[in-house]
Amino acid sequence: MSDSPAGRWPGDDQTADDQTADGAPRRVVGTPPPGRSLLGDGAADVPAAPPRELPSDPEDLPSAKRAERVVAACFMVAFLAGLAFIVAYFVFPVHTLDGVARSNLGLGLSMSLVFLGLAAGTTIWVRRLMPDVELTEARKPLRSSEEDRAAFEQTFEEGADASQFVKRPLIRRTLIAASLPALAAPILLLRDLGPLPRKDLTFTVWRPGLRLLKADANTPVTPGSFSSPGSMITVVPDGYQDKFDALAKAAVIIIKFAPGQVEYTNADHPVPGKVVANWTVDNIVAYSKICTHVGCPAALYEQTTHHILCPCHQSTFDATRGAAVIFGPATRPLPQLPMTVDAKGFLVARHDFTEPVGPSYWERP
């Protein structure tokens, strides 16, 4: 197929036996000369076939015949399942939960059968139809031979000499010097990935007079409406209801206590184990909802034990004692938000938290 009798390129010095010098096929007319048998006697003319490396058939032929039918059946199952997949795609609409359920089942089941059928069929084919063989191949040691190593070493050293790299330290050193800023450049280009943290972690958006809104409902809170002891609700700063960047640090929970449950202090700053009385309204205390461990919302409030439990890693805070840590990996209490009421009687912040909220960091003041 690849050698075309018609075309011959100049310089092509292959001459086939049955072709004349100008490319025309040699024609044999009359009785063939002796010594050349058309039918052949085998050994002399035909080269010996190389011995087989792999047997051509499995040992147990009847069992193989049975296995062949099983394999064929598996492949037929796969074929039918493949058709079923195509049908299922068009027959089962989506857009409703029930529809999606049916479509998922239909498409998935047919796809599973396609793969299972092909897999099982192929496995039986290999195991039962292909003859058992166990062949051996030699491993050469991975270490190259001494000659190869020596030759490589010579090539490498000759090349190094030819490159002049070793002989001319000035080139070498200046090349290294030249590449250093170039290597630093990609790192430098990443500088604008983000702003520097500066003091951003120290403050939240809470400021004097900012109203506390009930999360999602976005309505303000009066102490009178939040008067049942044991109540708890999440609040967000007014104007930041949809701003996740602000909420990720400014979310707050307010809890209503019965008289006498809370351990107050009269100081105007956080005291370990105490709630700052000046920052509460009517036994309503506000704590940051952002856990001081790694920042999950610590929202699980147990009315009976007054414990705030963070569901992520089980840091537990005592809400009657300034959210002091009583269990778990958190190391600092939840900061207390200073509260007061505004002229209309709604709960507002007095000012921002007096310490950073959320997880610890190296520069934390």
Partner 1 sequence: MTTSRAIAGTGNWLDERFRGAKGMRTFFRKIFPDHWTFLLGEIALYSFVILLLSGTFLALWFKPSMTEIVYHGSYIKFHNMRMSEAYASTLNISFDVRGGLLVRQIHHWAADLFVGAILAHMLRIFFTGAYRKPREVNWLIGVTLLTLALIEGLFGYSLPDDLLSGAGLRITQGVLQSVPIVGTYASFFLFGGQYPGQLIIPRMYIMHVLLIPGLFLALIGAHLFIMFHQKHTQVPGKGRTNTNVVGAPMYPYFMAKTGAFFLFTFAAVAIAATFVQINPIWIYGPYNPIAISSGSQPDFYMGFLEGSLRIMPAWQWVVFGHTFAFNVFGPALLIPGFIFTSAAVWPFIEQWITGDKREHHVIERPRNAPTRTALGMAMVAFYGVLWLEGANDVLSQHLDVSLYTITEIARWSIFVVPIITYIITKRICLGLQHKDQHLLEHGVETGIIVQRPSGEFVEITRPLSEEARAKIVRPEPLALPSGAEEPVPPPAMRRTVGRVKARLNKVLAESVPMNGHGNGAHPDGEHAAIGPGDGGDS
Partner 2 sequence: MTARRHHPAARYLVVLLGLLLVGFGYALVTGVGEASAAPGGAAQNQGQIAQGRVIFLAVCASCHGVLAQGVPGVAPSLIGVGSAAVDFQVSTGRMPSREPVEENPRKPVLLHPWQIRALAAYIASLGGGPAIPSAAQVSQSGAHVGLGEQLFVTDCAQCHNFQGAGGALTYGKYAPPLTASTPKQIYEAMLTGPEAMPVFNNTTITPQQKRDIIAYIVQTRNEPNPGGFSLGRVGPVTEGLVVFLGLLLFMVFAALWITARHGKAHE
Residues 72-111 that bind partner 1 (CB under 8 A): 89, 92-97, 100, 103-105, 107-109, 111
Minimum Å distance from CB 315 to partner 2?
Answer: 11
Minimum Å distance from CB 214 to partner 2?
Answer: 8
Interaction between residue 123 and partner 1 (CB under 8 A)? yes
- Give 307 or 351: the residue with its C-beta nearer to partner 1: 307
Rounded Cα distance, 211 and 225, in Å: 15
Out of 15, 179, 300, 302, which residue is the one contacting partner 1 (CB under 8 A)? 300
Rounded Cα distance, 365 and 359, in Å: 13
Residues 6+ apart with CB under 8 A from 53: 135
Convert residues 212-231 into a mask of x (bound to partner 1 by CB under 8 A) and - (unbound). Answer: ---x----------------
- Give 277 or 325: the residue with its C-beta nearer to partner 1: 325
Q: What is the dihedral of CA 70, 75, 80, 83, to 10 degrees?
A: 180
Minimum Å distance from CB 182 to partner 1?
Answer: 21
Q: Which residues pair with 256 in a beta bridge?
A: 284
- Give 129 or 271: the residue with its C-beta nearer to partner 2: 129
CB 195, CB 334: distance < 8 Å: no
Among partner 2, partner 1, none, residue 233 binds (CB under 5-8 Å by kind): partner 2
- Distances in Å between the Cα of 152 and the Cα atoms of 141, 157, 222 are 18, 8, 86
Interaction between residue 296 and partner 1 (CB under 8 A)? yes
Q: What is the DSSP letter of 126?
A: I
Among partner 2, partner 1, none, residue 293 binds (CB under 5-8 Å by kind): partner 1
Q: What is the dihedral of CA 6, 10, 16, 18, to 10 degrees?
A: 50
